[in-house]
Structures are given as structure tokens and as C-alpha cells.
Structure 1
């Protein structure tokens, strides 16, 4: 492909011609080749040379322009899709992903997802994956302090705000605290509060993870996309465990924020 035809293709898809300049590609020190292309695209998006929702040339055009195989181009693009830099639309092409407004979630207060979204002016809803009564798993029975034969209410749902999927949550509550799981339509904590069993404190663990294919599909992401796995154990005022939650939050949508202070023993004395 000639320089003129390459520029024509770039103009046709709305991509600045210098982003995929062969000299720029060959000057990159990253190896192998797919990492060079990945870096060029990532840098161009960050610098604004590739704008939000802008289309990229086809795999064939990029391969011809840079003198690499289509396999190299495909591998570079697949990695950027997993990072959330690009999105692919079936039958349409590859585009720069729209920028998301990240949600800052403080870790100092115990609130429900519904409350969190309402405080930001967003309407929370969900797609129910499971809402039922059953027997606990060994892990659930141990965490919840259940006796043999004790049943639980299970709430497994895709949590959304403004119609956008943000998290997958599995909450388990001893049945003695919430006998009818169908009472929960949006906020679990609101229903527990009506029964006099709203939690007052919790222990929460956060862990970075990669989404399995099924969960990634539910969240509209590529398999292996980064996520935050959160495990929370919530307590009643008397110390009994009322809730055991395991959630996967989108890594590209959430920032969990904690305020830290110096321990009294470590503060400087005058």
C-alpha cells in the first residue's frame, strides 16, 4: 500500500494518518511486534490523537500499512479490548472505547448498592440470576455460624446503574433473618431493616482478579478483563453474622477509596 493510499484509508475511517505511520511503528522498542502496535494505539488514545468512539482501520489495512501479519494485528487489538481501551462491534469494526465516569466508593461506611447509586443521582436496578431458599455451602455455613439443617436465602444478581452493568453480587442471609427472599426487590438492607436485622458493621476484603467468561459476558466485557473481587461479612449489633457477600465489580468503573490516619502511638510528640 502506498503512503497516499494509506492516508486515504485513514481519512475514510476518521483516523489521523500519523498514528499508524510505519516509521513510528518501527521506531518503537517494545517487542514482540504486537506489543509495539498495542503501545502505539494506547498512547494515541491517551494523548487524544484517537478520539472517543473513533473507528480504527481494518485488520487487513493495518497489517498492510505496518508490514506485519493479521495475526499480529489481531493479537494487539484483543489485548486492548481486554484493557478496555478498544471495543469491537460485530459486523461493524473496532472503535476507541467511550470514556467512563469512574465511581468512587468510600470504604469507611456500610451502605447498600442502592443507596450508593441514589447518592450519585443514579437509578439502581438489577437482573436476578437467583433469588431462592436453599442449604448453605460448607463455606457459607462456617462464615454465617449456622447449625446443621439451617437454611439460607440466596440473592444472586447483576447490579446496574442507569442501565449499565457494574457488578455481580451474591449475598447469602440466614433464613431466620429473612424468611421470604421475594421481599427483596431492590435494596436487601432496606428489607433487613424492616425485620429489625440491618447490619451495623462489616469486614470487607478486596482482591484483584480476572473475570471468567460467563461473568465477563454479563458485565459486557471481554473474558479475562480486570475486576475487583470483594468479600464482605456483615454483623448485627450483638455480633451475629447476618450477611455473607461475594461480588465482582468492574475494574474499569470503580475506585474504592479509604481515608488513612496515623496511629496515635506513631504521632510525633511535641
Structure 2
């Protein structure tokens, strides 16, 4: 890590915001690699000649922006931008493991019910059909990155108790792993509830994703609506000349 250059440039701007700007520029220029630890508050205080209170406020500003993340008991780190393949059908758990991180899940709800009119239409099932309704927070390395609300026809998910962190693995176990699908991604702002769950500021940028997937015989196996942290995720699609 290169030394952090620090100059007081604007007398009208609070010192903690000046420090946050210097750190942000230092990180964007490659001074600290994504995933690397930030120097301690004490070291930053000595480097910048600022109080630890000011340094702490500057760090909190960058955590709120998603530039930094804090891991309890480990320190503060430069956030990694996650490039998710936009044209590949894969699960959150598989993507997380491919990056060398451990996936995790916090369940909000997991139950059987009848579908709403919208869900029945999306899944192409009868309004009286039985569906599994799943709500969960998706974690990577213990950090909350997404909220997912999925609806699955019960014929594809007969055993909710055996469902672990990966829905696709559970579907594959029953012979119904999806092989094709469509998804729509749009930019939005986090609601107060979403912001609290994802540990971001209210009205932070998020990506809303609607996904429908199919098994090989064409039946719709999944209708999922997700909210992903916009400060951490980029969906990348390869383009080829027609």
C-alpha cells in the first residue's frame, strides 16, 4: 500500500469529508487493493494529523457509500466490486464459492401457501396450486449482499426442511435444476427496511432483479424477485458481433 497523501484543500468543507475524499481518491487510484485492510484509525490519525474522532467519521462516510466495509473483529477493508455474469444462469451460492467466499443465508420465511394472482401467472400454475414461498437474506463472507423472495411450485420443492443455503442445489437434488430462464435488472433505491437488512444507508442504490427459470421440459420452476446492493454488484454481459 502506498502512503496516503493528505492535504487540507477546502476550508469550507469539514475535515472528515476532506479525509474521506482523499481516501476515496487513494483507493480509486490503486493505492489500496480491493479486499485489503485499511490502516488502523490510530495510524490514519498519525498520517493525516487529525483526531481519531475525525478519522472515524471519515471512515464511516466511506462505509456508508459502500467504498469500505467493516468486519466485526477483523477491521475495515476496501470493498470489492462483484462482477456477476449477466448471461449465465447460476446461483448466488455457486457465484460466491467461485470467488473463494463462503455463502450464507438468513431466513425471513419458508413456508407453503397458495400463490397470489401475480405468482400464479408468472409460474403458469393454477391459482389453487400449492407453492413454496421463500424469503431470505443472502450473505457472502458474513456480509449481507442481497434479499431474495422466491416462489416455487411445490411439486419441484417437496421438502423445505432439507433446503440449505442453495435453492438450485435443492432443486437439483429433486431432479429439477433450472437450465434456462430470463431476468430483468433495473436500478432503484433501497427502502428503509431493505437498507436496514443490507446494512446500507436509506435510499442507497440497489439493483432489483426479476428472474423466471425453467426446467428442460419448459415448465417454469422459479419466480424470484431480488434486491442486490448497488455499491457491490455489477452485472456484466459479453457482447458478440451478429
- Residues 67-216 of structure 1 correspond to what in structure 2 (within 5 A)? 82-85=64-67, 98-216=77-195
3-state DSSP class of the match of 1:170?
strand
8 Å contact from structure 2 (residues 68, 79) kept in 1: no
- Larger radius of gyration between Structure 1 and Structure 2: 1
Report the aligned-residue RMSD. Answer: 3.3
Q: 1:85 to 1:194 in 2, by over 3 A?
A: closer
1:52 matched residue in structure 2? 38
Distance 2:59 2:80 in 1: 23
Q: 1:35 to 1:241 in 2, by over 3 A?
A: farther
Q: Which stretch of the first structure deviates more once superposed, 246-255 or 47-56?
A: 47-56
3-state DSSP class of the match of 1:98?
strand
- Give the structure-1-normalised TM-score: 0.69
Gaps of 5+ in 2: 71-75
Gaps of 5+ in 1: 1-15, 27-32, 63-73, 89-96, 264-270
Q: Is residue 235 of structure 2 the alignment partner of residue 251 of structure 1?
A: no
Aligned positions, number: 220
Q: 1:36 to 1:144 in 2, by over 3 A?
A: farther
- Give the structure-2-normalised TM-score: 0.76
Distance 1:61 1:119 in 2: 38
8 Å contact from structure 1 (residues 118, 124) kept in 2: yes
Distance 1:120 1:87 in 2: 17
